[in-house]
Amino acid sequence: MRAERTGHTESAARPAPGKPLARDVALVGVFLAIIAVVGYIERQIPLSLTVPGVHLGLSNAVILLSLYLFRPCTSLCLALLKCALMAALAGGMSSFLYSLSGSMLSFLAMWLLLKWVKAPVAVSAAGATLHVVGQYLAAAAVIHNASLLAMLPVPALLGAASGVLTGVLVKCALPKIRALRIQSNRRPPQ
């Protein structure tokens, strides 16, 4: 009856297949803004005194959240935008290359793991570890020196520890964000 009163059909309320909902587009924008702020703050924390290039990786929590909330292609776009944004804000081309290689290896691992392992902490730890591996592989390729990979175990362990922290954040945030998305699907009474 409501469709007849307003002149809209039931299908007009839903987007066409393959089209994102406006709220999902807005949420991707919010996620990208969070990535920018968290990434900037992370770069101000001097963790790289012990191991070059090490940071907490909290902005990767946003990518993991997106894998739980959106289609993989939307999350992949967000990961690519994260690489470009962080390079523009803080690094340049070499930063983009390292970020891209780490992010893509991490994204692939997390996306594949989510098919079998639903625990955010485990998925995040694996993703963070492989993010470090991807960055070191890119660095070794850029400087044409495979001996750089001998330093990989310590940053990989630090990455796994950081991934556990990020996974705990995602585990806490995920139910709240899902509840907000469900709540936003409800229409107010007329």
> CA-CA distance, 158 to 141, in Å (whole number)?
22
| pLDDT score of 177 | 85
Burial grade of 190 (CB within 10 A; 0-12, 13-18, 19 or more): exposed
| pLDDT score of 19 | 61
Strand ranges for 80-187 from DSSP E: none
In a domain, 133, yes or no: yes
Of 110, 111, 152, residue with least CA distance to 133: 152
Of 113, 107, 21, 102, residue with least CA distance to 72: 107
Average pLDDT over residues 80-88: 87
Confirm if 170 and 120 have CB atoms less than 8 A apart: yes
Higher pLDDT, 113 or 14: 113
Q: Is the pLDDT of residue 47 over 70?
A: no
In a domain, 56, yes or no: yes
Q: How confident is the model at residue 7 (pLDDT cuts 50, 70, 90)?
A: very low
Higher pLDDT, 15 or 164: 164
27-36, 54-63, 131-140: least confident range: 54-63
> CA-CA distance, 128 to 107, in Å (whole number)?
9
In a domain, 107, yes or no: yes
Domain count, the chain: 1
Q: In the 8-state DSSP scheme, what is residue 70?
A: S
In a domain, 6, yes or no: no
Higher pLDDT, 44 or 126: 126
Share of the chain above pLDDT 70, in %: 78
In a domain, 13, yes or no: no
Task: Give CA 105 to chain center in angstroms.
Answer: 12
In a domain, 174, yes or no: yes
Q: Is the pLDDT of residue 91 over 60?
A: yes
Q: Which residues span the domain enclosing 131?
A: 22-185
Higher pLDDT, 189 or 94: 94
CATH number at residue 152: 1.10.1760
In a domain, 3, yes or no: no
| pLDDT score of 8 | 40
Q: Is the pLDDT of residue 49 over 80?
A: no
| pLDDT score of 167 | 95
Q: Is the pLDDT of residue 85 over 90?
A: no
